[in-house]
Amino acid sequence: MQKSGKVVIVSQHYPPDPSTTAAIMAAIAGRIALDTEVLVLSGMSGSAASASAGKPTVAVIRNWMPGKAVLIKRAAAEVLFTARTFAALLTKLRRGDVALTVTAPFMLPYAVAAAAGLKRAKSVLIMHDLYPDVLVMADLLGPASLGAKAMHGLNALMFRALNAVVIIGRDTEKLLLRYGGMTPDKIRFIPNWATLVPAVRPVRADNPFRRSLAARFVVGLSGNLGFTHDPVIVFEAARLLRNDSDIHFLLSGWGIGFDRLKEMQSRENLPNVTLIDRVEDGDLEAFLSAANVWLIPYRKNVAGVSVPSRFYNLLAVGRPVVLVSEPEAEAALTVTENNLGWVVSPGMSDQLANAIRTASTSIDSSMAERVVAVAGNFSPDRALTSYASLIQGLLQKPEQSGRTP
């Protein structure tokens, strides 16, 4: 009997990197390794040492990761990492293998699909962000620019070559099907999951992140504020609510958007805003339990382009959310379908302030219980079983259906 192929998982982000993407890719690798041989090509120094013995095997590709705000250096580093990964794949992949990667950096999927095609392997892409759409959304690229057109052309070739594309939001499917190389049978909807155990955490006055705040109602924000997020709408809503002593904003995070929040607060020093640095993983549960409601502030045109992974942990602690987003985006659909909070139009700070005012007087125990119940639907076991099933199906397929881009 012919030996089944192996799975090669490619990710720039992998433990000990503390990012959400790293945790997700490690969980997927570990689950798939229960059934078949897995090799992880990681862009994070120290990954091989931190991996458990042989489950899976981890090899580190030399990588350099400047800060996100240093765009030219970051682009150069990502080109180098992608080139090194492509070379490594040409030596590691064999016919019948499956290569799996994620959209970070955005050039990586093109290299993985190309290498898999050349080696007669199969390929899977986990679509965390859709390019060039996410760059257009962030005003870093014009929709009719040469760069956007080039990415659309590369996408058409890549989607034709890929055997499967995993989407983490239902809203992404419509955008993918614009490409002639993409067909519905290639698309798998597998949402991300909560890393915290779903349970209602009571709001406690002695919470270490809350006890210095006098306000009755705390509005929280946590996580990376990147190019797709809007820090201005958060600050403007806080400005509109500055005279309401019952409401206080507790904001934590990193990225260029959080740096912008720091700049605005240093200028105006709003009394109802507290900024704290990134919270360590060990303190995350306590921090998420400190607020009464959580904000996720997106810029316009987020639908189908990006899904906030932090969303599921906010639900897991039993907190409703105020989401700045188009109503057809995945997180917004989940909120409105299950009555888990409020959805506000992007750019409308007055709407955001009004939603927060409404939340401050209308959240009750039944909403918290409903939020936790929905969080239970986004379990790691369910998602990882779906990944394992997808990979096993591809390994058992005798031939690759895609073409080399």
383 shares its domain with 366: no
Condensed to tens digits (0 to 9), the pLDDT of residues 10-19 reads 999 999 988 8
Taking residues 117-142, what's their average pLDDT? 92
Most confident of 63-67, 194-198, 385-389: 385-389
Range of the domain at 101: 7-193+379-396
1 pLDDT band, cuts 50/70/90, is very low
152 shares its domain with 273: no
284 shares its domain with 326: yes
151 shares its domain with 32: yes
68 shares its domain with 153: yes
Residues 193, 380: contact at Cβ < 8 Å? yes
71 pLDDT band, cuts 50/70/90, is low
174 shares its domain with 101: yes
> Which one, of 114, 121, 24, 53, lies nearest residue 387 by Cα?
24
34 shares its domain with 180: yes
Condensed to tens digits (0 to 9), the pLDDT of residues 248-269 reads 999 999 989 999 999 999 999 9
> Where do the H-state alpha helices sit in 13-120?
20-32, 47-50, 71-92, 108-118
84 shares its domain with 61: yes
270 shares its domain with 185: no
Cβ burial, residue 49 (10 Å; 0-12/13-18/19+): exposed
133 shares its domain with 187: yes
53 shares its domain with 175: yes
* Residue 229's CATH number: 3.40.50.2000
Condensed to tens digits (0 to 9), the pLDDT of residues 148-163 reads 999 999 999 999 999 9
Is residue 154 assigned to a domain? yes
2 pLDDT band, cuts 50/70/90, is very low
Is residue 199 assigned to a domain? no
pTM exceeds 0.75 for this model: yes
237 shares its domain with 289: yes
335 pLDDT band, cuts 50/70/90, is very high
Tally of domains in the chain: 2
